[in-house]
Structures are given as C-alpha cells and as structure tokens.
Amino acid sequence: MSGENLLLDAIAGFAVHVSRRVSDLNGAIESHRCKLLNNCTSSAAPKANIEFERPGNPFINFVSRLLVANAREPDQENTTYFAAADRIIAVGDVHGDLGALRNVLKLSKLIGSNDEWVGGGTVLVQVGDLLDRGDQERAAFELLLKLREDAKKHGGAVHILHGNHEIMNVSLDFRYVTPGGFVDFEPLADQANEKLGKLPPAISETIKGLPEFMRSRAWSLRPGGPFSNRISTNQLAIVIGDNVFVHGGLRPTHLAEPGALETMNSACRAWMQGRAEKPSSLKTGKSPVWMRNYSLGSPKIGSDECNTLQASLDLIPAKRMIVGYCSRSKTLSHNVARY
C-alpha cells in the first residue's frame, strides 16, 4: 500500500407513549427514592488532586492516534474520531424534555415544523443525560435517532453521548426517574415478567427486589436489555476535528494509553450490551461522566483545573473540550465550553 493510501486510511479514521398516572406513582417513587438516598453517598464528584505528567511529545501522541484508528477492521465503523465540520451544535442535559429539545433544535435551524432535518452539513452533538428528570426520555431519544438518519442524507451528522444518568440507569439506579419515566416502559411488563427468570440469577434477583412499578424499566435498561442495547451504540467521548466532546470531562489519567478514548467507548458498549462487567473507569466520581472539575463555574475554576485541562487536550490532541452538566451563558475558560 502506498504512503498516500496509508495516510488517507489514517485520516479516514477521524474521518410515546407516556401516561399521566403521576398521582398513583408519586408516593411509591418518593418512598423508594428516600430509601435509596439514605443508603447512598453523595453523587457529587470530589475535587481531585492534580497528579499528571506532561506529554513528552505531542507529535508521537498524534501519530499513535492515527495508527490506532487505522488498525480497525476494514468494515468497522469509526465511532470516536471524525473530520472537522464547518458548523457544530452541542446540546447538553435534555433530561426527557422533548419540548425543550425541539425548541433548541429549531432555534439552531436544525429541524423544521415536522421534525425534519434542515441543518444541511451541520453536526449535532447531544452531550449526554437524555434520561431522568423528565417524562419524555424515549420520545427524545427516538427523535435524535430519526435525525441521525436524516442528517446523513444531507451531509450532516448527529452524535449522542452517554452522561452519568445513562450510566446510572443501566446500573439500575432510578433515583431520578419521574412517574412518566416508569409508565413509559409499562407496555413491556408482560415481556419482562415472562423473560425475567431466564436472566442470570444475580440480575434477576436484583430486579425482583425492586418495587413492581420499576421492574419493566429495569428489565429494559439492565446490561443486555432491549433499551440498553439501543443506547449502547452511543459514545462516552468523541473527537470532531480539534474538539473533544464528553459529558463530565477528561483528565490525563483517562488518556494514559494510546487509543484510550476508543478503548473507553468499546468497554462501555460491551457492558451495556451485557458482554462484560461495568468498567472500573465508570465507577468513581472522577470518571468522564461524573467529574465536575471543569463545571464549577467562575471564579471556582482555577489554575489547577486549567493545567489539568491543557494536559488532557495535549494528550488527545485537541484544542478545546465541550462538556455537559448545568448550562452557562458563557465559556468558562479559553478552551472549555459548556452547553
């Protein structure tokens, strides 16, 4: 293969149903939530010590990334690195609010009055946390899936990332699910009851131990469940041109090995599909979906956070990091954007 083809090959690697039985479920949900909250520690990520080494040679890191991308099987779709785009819209934390999602997409000139894609070659990135807090999680997800297919036909793209709430739900942590969020999965109740006994004993007993109104959702969102399999094709982090997108953030410790982002995405996918254990990288407050070091808001963002950020960007390499969590009206620093 010629050197030109090798280079091109490497570049290619970048290259509702919702019922309203709120009054029936509110009491039961609140009771169970109180029990969970009493038994769980705070989900807030602790402030981490700054411990990292600066990369010795950014060019070597860049070449390593190219080689990892180029090492894919010929028919394996690239799911981590993508070519630069003229226009990128990032939307964070939808949390089951279909109306707000539609409004944002219309204001961004991405969809028309019939939810059709009108964004041309624009790239849309939903930066995680589609689930929890709102009643229309599945409808919001279905809309984004439809737009993902529509955008491809017009030279655009739609990427959906995992946030901490997707990880919580696949872990069967339903503290922040609304009544409508449980009702949305009730049509699967018969199927869930029929197949529950065929699951591994550990997961089967866990689901049986939940209140009855939670079991359909738990069956569908467990590792290997129908809905978990559907969202498993989403990513933890992606790079578009010189922009890296991730829900919480990335530290140098997340990026120590060549191909770290692809490894991270692959491990999360395998867990959600029920093919592997939950990755250890997703179990702590310092994980890419939980860390809030870049989400504290001015003036709490200090030199330690900026140094950590820059070291992370050098390792990827990228020029800026776009993260989720609460919205802000402006960029927190010169190279961290939040949406």
Which segment of 5-14, 108-117, 187-196, 255-264 scores lowest on mean pLDDT? Answer: 5-14
Q: Is the CATH number of domain 3-188+216-338 3.60.21.10?
A: yes
Neighbours of 103 (CB within 10 A): 11
Residue 77 Cα to chain centre, angstroms: 18
Mean pLDDT of 264-274: 98
At residue 19 the predicted structure's pLDDT band, cuts being 50, 70 and 90, is very low
Q: Each residue of 18-53: b (16+ CB within 10 Å) or e?
A: beeeeeebeeebeebeeeeeeeeeeeebeebeeebe
Mean pLDDT of 260-265: 97
Q: Give the pLDDT confidence of 129-179 residue by residue, as tens digits.
A: 999 999 999 999 999 999 999 999 999 999 999 999 999 999 999 999 999
Q: Give the pLDDT confidence of 67-108 residue by residue, as tens digits.
A: 444 444 433 466 899 999 999 999 999 999 999 999 999 999
User: Any idea what the Cα angle at residue 238 is, between residues 69 and 100, rounded to 5°?
Assistant: 155
Active site residue 17: no
Dist CA 218 CA 213 (whole Å): 10
pLDDT at position 298 = 60
DSSP symbols for 92-158: ---TT-HHHHHHHHHHTT-B-TTS-B--TT-EEEE-S--SSSSS-HHHHHHHHHHHHHHHHHTT-EE
User: Any idea what the Cα angle at residue 135 is, between residues 281 and 25, rounded to 5°?
Assistant: 100
Q: Which of 95, 159, 162, 165 is catalytic?
A: 165
Dist CA 316 CA 335 (whole Å): 14
Give the pTM.
0.77
